[in-house]
Amino acid sequence: MTKIVVLVKEVPDAAVQKQVDPATGLLDRSGEKTLNPFDTHAIEAALQLKESGALEVDEVVAITVGPSSAVKALHKAVSLGADRSIHLTDDALVGSDVVATGYALAELVKRENPDLVLAGQQSDDGQSYAVGAVVAENLGWPALTQVIKLEVDGTTLTCERQAEYGYDTVKVQLPAVISVGDAINEPRYPSLKAIMGAKKKPLESLSVADAGIDAGKVGKEGRKAVWTAAQQPPAKAAGMLIEDDDTAQTVEQIVTWLDERKLI
């Protein structure tokens, strides 16, 4: 049987203004939080593989690294269909960058020994697009990003991925780490029964020591990137507003404006 691990993350709600705390150099994560929207597509992809019979999937496991509040994101993940979840939470993880987080996630994946790891192509806060690749590097597995179509034949995955110039079709052997784009599917809505039952599904909470993670490779000590400063982008000049009291005159003004800038 096959096991699929889905990497998920707690992120600030889309309505919350995101800003860096100048005292710590870390993203201010106060306020409402939610499951990263891009990860819901990874969960849906796992469920579709399971339900279609393309893979004989025994279970889908959601994994996250985050503070105690990230439990809510895991509850959302299992309400969407994951069978159980794992939460790595420890003060030693505070300040971890993408490299450190990817290492920690990879250690959790090793404990589960899955056949396939799925992730959203990016997080709604950091938007590094890199966590899946870092996890794969630590595992020594092949990785693909921006995947919008996934087909299975035995232990071979045929993936279509978005690229700047169009689309790539790539074949990869399991085990592998696949980061899916939001065009791959339309995530389902959890039923009321699933939402109510989410807290009853198995949730394993681990510390860095529990997971056998080297504390020197995570947190502030293990990070490779350090925030130094930030500034607001320069304000843009106000645009020119033309009111259409006289259509012919409005057209003439637009043509004159374009002509002055040699755009026509």
- Is the per-residue pLDDT at 31 higher than 70? no
- Residues with Cβ within 8 Å of residue 41, at least 6 apart in sequence: 120, 180, 181, 182, 184, 185, 187
Q: In this predicted structure, what is the pLDDT of residue 24? A: 72
Element holding 216 (H helix, E strand): none
Could you tell me the pTM of the whole model? 0.84
- Is the per-residue pLDDT at 118 higher than 80? yes
Residue written as tokens 């939470």?
Answer: 89
Q: What is the mean pLDDT of residues 209-227?
A: 90
Q: pLDDT band for position 159 (50/70/90)?
A: very high
Residue-wise pLDDT tens digits, 123-135: 888 778 899 999 9
Backbone angles phi, psi at 183, to 5 degrees: -85, 0
Alpha carbons 6 and 159: distance in angstroms, whole number: 17
Q: What is the mean pLDDT of residues 162-185?
A: 94
Query: What's the fold here for domain 2-222?
Result: Rossmann fold (3.40.50)
- Residues with Cβ within 8 Å of residue 111, at least 6 apart in sequence: 211, 212
- Is the per-residue pLDDT at 28 higher than 70? no
Residue-wise pLDDT tens digits, 45-56: 999 999 998 889
